[in-house]
Chain A
Amino acid sequence: MATIEARGLRKVFGTTVAVDSIDLQVEEGRILGIVGPNGAGKTTALNAILGLTSYEGHLNVLGRDPWNARDELMRDVSFIADVAVLPRWIRVTQLLDYVAGVHPRFDRAKAQGFLAKTVIKQTSKVRELSKGMVAQLHLALVMAIDAKLLVLDEPTLGLDILYRKQFYDSLLNDYFDRNRTIVVTTHQVEEVQDVLTDLMFINHGRIVLQCTMEEFEARYVEVMTHPDHVASARSLKPISERQVFGRSVFLFDRVDRNQLAALGDVRTPSIADVFVAVMSNPEVGDERSEARAENKEALSMTKHK
């Protein structure tokens, strides 16, 4: 069964619809990246999955309803909600004692092993650590928990590039295996592009694009055209066009790669470029998911009755 299963997931704050009938299915062993502009509803959706906020619709995480069973769910789910949410007054040893004392799946020796690879001293207080070290400490704790689902919400925000690189490297090398599932939101999409197995764009509380990375690579093609092929490239309806060093770079969605190769240098675009293209003209997004969302809305309404 799926690790996360949401149907018509919806969350309204006052008059603002933060999450608008999202359908989501994340299978075991996937690494899903959720990308969206600020205020798109990413954090709200994750909070619902983690039992931190109430919601409408159907949501099932590892067989449980997160809102009503948060503490049980947290035996199998770890999350880093934000950088630097570790209490600033606590000592590293106290932190290890506490987590070991409350978490049945925490392996203290493993956490200490991870910490030994850093410069973090066990006697330090969190407030004495740099932001990057706090992130390392939190990651060491989380990686020592034998969880089935790990949720990361902007886990590397504000960290320098060395820490960010190291963060994802150790996550992949020392933690991830086919029995675990990871969901991550980040603005630093270029760093997770090679890490993800699945991708989701979200805007205004709705899913704009949802695909596996294989599908992404098959579907989107970027071409740096020769100057004399610009007109023919435009005739193939690119979803975006930009200038790089005086040459035109076109981004295509579902256009035959061989046909494009004739126009110039073909390559797989970065998530960031596709994201910008999709966000700036919403109709090029996944029209199927739009249709699906509407279907589900009708469905959930009948269900409520």
Chain B
Amino acid sequence: MNSTSNEPEVGGQRSEVRAISTRPFYWSTCRELWENRSIYIVPLIVAAVELLGFAVSTNGLAERRRAVLLLDASKARAGIEVPYDVAAVMMIFTVFIVGVFYCLDALYGERRDRSILFWKSLPVSDLTTLLSKAAIPLVVLPLVAFAIIVCTQFAMFLMTGAVLLAHGMSPTTTWINVPFFQNWLVLLYGLVAIALWHAPIYGWALLVSGWVRRATFLWAALPPLVIAAFEKITFNTSYVSAILKERVFGFAPNAFDLAGRHSPTVDSLMQLTPGRYLSTPGLWIGLIFAAGFVIAAIRLRRYRGPL
């Protein structure tokens, strides 16, 4: 039977196929955002808590600012920057957690509530579905993090300025000491580097979420940990746990030049090492694994129905 031969000889009576351009990927991504509002609500709540904490800390800010400005420039900058850095790191950590839990539910939820039968009744391929789901932690969440961090830091800057003005001080000392635009550039670079580095973690979570019948978190998290424990007990070595640790934190020493620093801080664009990062085998091995997990999840979804 030829698959092209049946096209509408009957077309005369039925309304011709309208040339409506459909955008399955775009709408599938929208659908993820409609369903999983935690993607932006959780980061917003965290940002609100950060701002609340910062507002409380402005009590006595003027005195501290006077003291910190007596130090030399680099120490003054470090001192003023601390809450801004903490806010950013906390947000990056938040979207990582949100991303992992999103992925763990992405293919499990639709089976649990039987809605997979509805989604599969529409002309959207498993490939498009999986790509739109993978785009959430890899594209959407980094953008959400970036936008919210920039807004949070700007709000913190305004609060500081208001407090300083109220104490008859110049609000510009923050602006002079903290290079916001440079920091936001570093942040953008860092978010891209982190998302790519964590891609296999998200891919694994997606695969588990399409695979298991219950307890997605357990199935995703326990096997690697149990294997690490097994290795430690049996051979008294720690290769697996080293690999796991490297997968979570390993982006930092590769994407940034942190040599000779006590704490992993980035205060110069010279510290960004995209060339070194892109030639790190760990990045590409991770991306190959991520692609493998996503391809497996695409294949698997074809076989999957309601639980």
Interface residues of A (CB under 8 A from B): 1, 5, 28, 47, 50-54, 60, 62-65, 67, 69-75, 78-82, 84-91, 94, 97-106, 138, 146, 148, 179
Q: Which residue of A lies closest to B34 (CB)?
A: A94
Query: Residue A179 contacts which of B6, B14, B20, B22 (CB distance < 8 angstroms)?
Result: B14
A-B complex: 5 closest residue pairs judged by Cβ atoms = A101-B27, A63-B6, A71-B125, A81-B117, A87-B115
Are A97 and B27 closer than 8 Å at their CB atoms?
A: yes
Q: Which B residues lie within 8 Å of A89 (CB)?
A: 34-35
Are B121 and A90 closer than 8 Å at their CB atoms?
A: no
Are A179 and B17 closer than 8 Å at their CB atoms?
A: no
Give B88-125 interface residues, CB cut-off 8 Å to A.
110, 113-115, 117-118, 120-125
Query: Residue B31 contacts which of A1, A72, A75, A98 (CB distance < 8 angstroms)?
Result: A98
Are B124 and A71 closer than 8 Å at their CB atoms?
A: yes
Q: Which A residues lie within 8 Å of B126 (CB)?
A: 71
B18 within 8 A of A: yes
Are A72 and B118 closer than 8 Å at their CB atoms?
A: no
Q: Which residue of B lies closest to A142 (CB)?
A: B121
Query: Residue B6 contacts which of A1, A50, A65, A101 (CB distance < 8 angstroms)?
Result: A1
Q: 15 A-B Cβ contacts within 8 A?
A: A1-B5, A51-B120, A74-B120, A81-B121, A85-B118, A90-B31, A90-B35, A101-B22, A101-B27, A101-B30, A102-B23, A104-B17, A104-B20, A105-B17, A105-B18
Secondary structure of the B side of the interface? loop
Using known A-B contacts A1-B6, A63-B4, A146-B14, determine if residue A52 contacts B120 with beta carbons closer than 8 Å: yes
Q: Which B residues lie within 8 Å of A54 (CB)?
A: 303
Are A104 and B18 closer than 8 Å at their CB atoms?
A: yes
Q: Which residue of A lies closest to B31 (CB)?
A: A98
Q: Which A residues lie within 8 Å of B302 (CB)?
A: 67, 70
Are A28 and B10 closer than 8 Å at their CB atoms?
A: yes
Q: Which A residues lie within 8 Å of B28 (CB)?
A: 102
Cα distance A172–B122 when bound, in Å? 22
Q: How many residues on chain B are close to A (CB under 8 Å)? A: 41
Cα distance A53–B304 when bound, in Å? 8
B264 within 8 A of A: no
Q: Which residue of A lies closest to B110 (CB)?
A: A87
Q: Please give the distance in Å from A74's CB to the nearest CB on chain B.
A: 4
Cα distance A257–B118 when bound, in Å? 47
B24 within 8 A of A: yes
Q: Which residue of A lies closest to B303 (CB)?
A: A54
Q: Please give the distance in Å from A225's CB to the nearest CB on chain B.
A: 47
B253 within 8 A of A: no
Give B1-43 interface residues, CB cut-off 8 Å to A.
1-6, 10, 13-15, 17-18, 20, 22-24, 26-28, 30-31, 34-35
Q: Which B residues lie within 8 Å of A5 (CB)?
A: 1
Q: Which B residues lie within 8 Å of A67 (CB)?
A: 302
Binary contact readout B244-279 vs A (1 if CB under 8 angstroms, 0 otherwise): 000000000000000000000000000000000000
Are A86 and B115 closer than 8 Å at their CB atoms?
A: yes
Using known A-B contacts A63-B1, A104-B17, A104-B22, determine if residue A72 contacts B123 with beta carbons closer than 8 Å: yes
B53 within 8 A of A: no
Binary contact readout B29-72 vs A (1 if CB under 8 angstroms, 0 otherwise): 01100110000000000000000000000000000000000000
B179 within 8 A of A: no
